[in-house]
Structure 1
Amino acid sequence: MMAGEHHSDRSGTGKVVNITSTILMTFFGMWRLIVRFRINPRLGWSDYWIVLALLSAEIGHGWALASLYSGEGRLDVDINIEIKARVRFLTFIGGAFNTYAVGFAKLSICAYLLGLNFSHIYRRFVYSSIMIILICNFTLPMMSHWVSCRPVQASWDVRIKSPDCWPVTFKTTVAYIQGGSNVVTDLLYAAAPIIYLRRIHLSRYTKWGVRLVFLMALFGTAVSIAKIYQFGYLLLKVKTDTVYHTVTTTALSVSENSLCIIVACLPPLRRTFDDLLKKVLPRRVLQSIGALNSRPGYDLPTIYTTKINSDGEHSHNIPSDKDYVEGIHGRIICRSPKSVACEERVAAVFGKSRGKYCAIRGRG
């Protein structure tokens, strides 16, 4: 490069996306865990999956950020073969952990959805989603990452002579399958709860609150689609300056898993957001959207529903003696009149006085 000549460097954009995504993801993840811990220190399966997702994403983001500081985003004329190999190594490890983080976050969503327990058909949808995640976010990517090349270093270091690798079409196909499965599961998460809410007689405000939470999954869908397109562009169109163009793919990968984790954290935080909105919005606005008719977050809720007696295709899967209510922490749960037990609960952690609440122990 001639003295004084300046070539483009896209690493700055990647760093901003990486750091911003990491901060937001960590904030929502820790907020969710703190709220859940204050409700029940033992947490639940969805919380443990979120912990794994956060750990994997933090590691993945760290490696991706290291690749940006090592030369990713620069043109070929600015770097040598050693820098290229190091960048490919860092992006490879970071991309692997980012993929696993998405899988853990989606398993957290599945664990939370299973707790809704609306019907057997609904649970089959969730179980199908779990199978898709295990195959497309873990099994196939792990084979692509760690089994498809011998030695494994050949996956990122082109300097290795005569490696024993599977056809490149395998990795390409796995990448497309993984991206496509993310779109499918996001649509399932967004659609399934909304469809079932049509059968439940909750307040209009509560229904829209739940709908908006799950519709947030569509932001992740948009990023997944963009990543699939960018991967195809990188594979088919880019022949030179590959580490310059991979910044976009890396940024989309980081954004995808961050959004997935944030979306996975939102359902347990819906009641928290609800309480914040009631403190911020004017009373007239709250009254117009029906917010004043919803119960406070930490006391005994009234039954907002009536028994489901419709002749819909799934009505036979829901016992007729069960009602649906919004639980004390914003969850939609099943209530059986035959199995309601009142217990004492200390609510001091929420800044409330000691009081009674009814623990809903439906058999579904």
Structure 2
Amino acid sequence: MPLGGKGPVLVAVLWAENFISAIFIGLRLYTRTRIISRIGWDDYTLIATWLLVLGYGVTSTVSAAAGMGQHSRDLTTEMFAKSMFFILLAEAFGALAIGVGKVAVALFLMRIVVSKWHKGILWFCIATMMALSALLVIGIWVQCTPTRSLWDPRLAAERVCHLDFISLAKVFCGWAAAMDFFLALLPWIILWKINMKRKEKITVCISLSLGVIAGVCGVIRTSNLDVLARTPDFHYTATDNFIWTATEITLTIVCVCIPSLRPLWVRLRGGSSSGGYQEQTGPRSKSGNSFGLQYLQSERGCTYTREVSHGEGMGETDTESSKGILTHSAAIQHVQEVKVVFEDRQSNASTGNGIVA
């Protein structure tokens, strides 16, 4: 049957946000594989998040085609049952997507933090978020028996519920919203103590602060749970919560992708993704970067020391003791010392210019 009520809005919003998420994740993966040449667990976790969002969109669309978004009184028993079954499936996909999305943000921050207690807090966030996500998914299907009575109104008289699912959902949604706020504010605390460019700090902090908006979406979704528990028109009323859930997940994906796109932005502007040094055909360092030396000028000679810190969302940064932002280790990975010796032009032609690495 054609979409009705709020169904068209639900489907349009979900697939638009799914497309936005795919674009940002695709750009991030392109940057990490083609420009930075380094991919981590946070990238794989983001891919898993998007696959769950895709499942959320598909099941929500099928539910909308069966009657979600319309008033319950306008649905036949078969439409009600089919729609409700796919609503439950979509809720399971949504719960996992929210949890895995928060894990992606925490793993992203793992690249930045240097203190053990910071890492301990992030692991606590990961463990609690995934535990609550798993409990909610299990709770969806075991809250009442027989299980079929959850979506088939013809078995309503036989339904026996063993779990206060609304209370569990409140705990999950409230904790997810709290994680949004915490993970958005944490970078402002930890990055300000790290020796890196101020511009890069602000870029990371502001982009992750979008998580505050995701937290607001979570608060709104949580506040609507009591209404959903009491409403006799669930198919129509639940539509708004599905939209808020999709928006929260999308904002989480966007805010964790933006900092990693800076090398791509620099390249599009015509800059170099390797700290401004263009790749040459000469000898290469162990990291795969070659350092062009022809611009170095001296009458006699010089020693040029370059500390290379591979900043995985920021490109390489040359500082006296740069801590590479968004890398697996905050320490400088290697130091390349290049000695350039220039002979006088009057010297023996066979001597030429010597380069000692």
Deviations 1:143-180 (A, max 9, x none): 2123333333233223224234313xx21111101111
What SS is found at the alignment partner of 1:303? coil
Judge conservation of contact 2:204–2:259 (CA < 8 Å) in 1. Answer: yes
Judge conservation of contact 1:102–1:261 (CA < 8 Å) in 2. Answer: no
After TM superposition, give the deviation of residue 276 of structure 1 in Å. Answer: 5.5
What SS is found at the alignment partner of 1:116? coil
In structure 2, what is the equivalent of residue 142 of structure 1? 137
Judge conservation of contact 1:49–1:105 (CA < 8 Å) in 2. Answer: yes
Letter in 2 for 1:190: A
Instruction: Report the TM-score, using the length of structure 1 for normalisation.
Output: 0.73
> In the alignment, which of 296, 302, 316 is matched to residue 318 of structure 2?
302
Judge conservation of contact 2:214–2:251 (CA < 8 Å) in 1. Answer: yes
What SS is found at the alignment partner of 2:29? helix
Deviations 1:47-88 (A, max 9, x none): 111121111110111110111122111123422222111111
**2:70 matches 1:74:** yes
Distance in 1 of aligned mates of 2:207 and 2:40: 20
Q: Which structure has the highest helix share of the two?
A: 1
**2:143 matches 1:151:** no
CA, structure 1 residues 217+210, in 2 after alignment: closer, same or farther (shift >3 Å)?
same
Distance in 1 of aligned mates of 2:312 and 2:40: 23
CA, structure 1 residues 111+301, in 2 after alignment: closer, same or farther (shift >3 Å)?
same
CA, structure 1 residues 233+227, in 2 after alignment: closer, same or farther (shift >3 Å)?
same
Runs of 4+ in structure 1 off by over 4 angstroms are 39-42, 273-279, 295-300, 330-333
Distance in 2 of aligned mates of 1:208 and 1:278: 22
In structure 1, what is the equivalent of residue 221 of structure 2? 227
> In the alignment, which of 249, 257, 275 is matched to residue 241 of structure 2?
249
Answer with 1 or 2: which has the greater Rg: 2
Aligned residue pairs: how many? 294
Residue segments in structure 1 that go unaligned for 5+ positions in a row: 1-7, 280-294, 305-322, 344-364
Distance in 2 of aligned mates of 1:111 and 1:93: 27
CA, structure 1 residues 192+144, in 2 after alignment: closer, same or farther (shift >3 Å)?
same
Residue segments in structure 2 that go unaligned for 5+ positions in a row: 272-310, 338-357
Percent identity of equivalent pairs: 21
Deviations 1:320-351 (A, max 9, x none): xxx44345xx6595235xx63449xxxxxxxx
In structure 2, what is the equivalent of residue 131 of structure 1? 127
Name which of structure 1's ranges 216-225 and 129-138 shifts more when overlaid on structure 2: 129-138
Please list, as runs of the form range in 1=range in 2, the aligned pairs for 1:51-130 lying within 5 A after superposition: 51-130=47-126
CA, structure 1 residues 50+137, in 2 after alignment: closer, same or farther (shift >3 Å)?
same
> In the alignment, which of 251, 256, 263 is matched to residue 264 of structure 1?
256
In structure 2, what is the equivalent of residue 291 of structure 1? none
Distance in 1 of aligned mates of 2:218 and 2:74: 31
**2:45 matches 1:49:** yes
> In the alignment, which of 173, 182, 185 is matched to residue 176 of structure 2?
182
**2:18 matches 1:35:** no
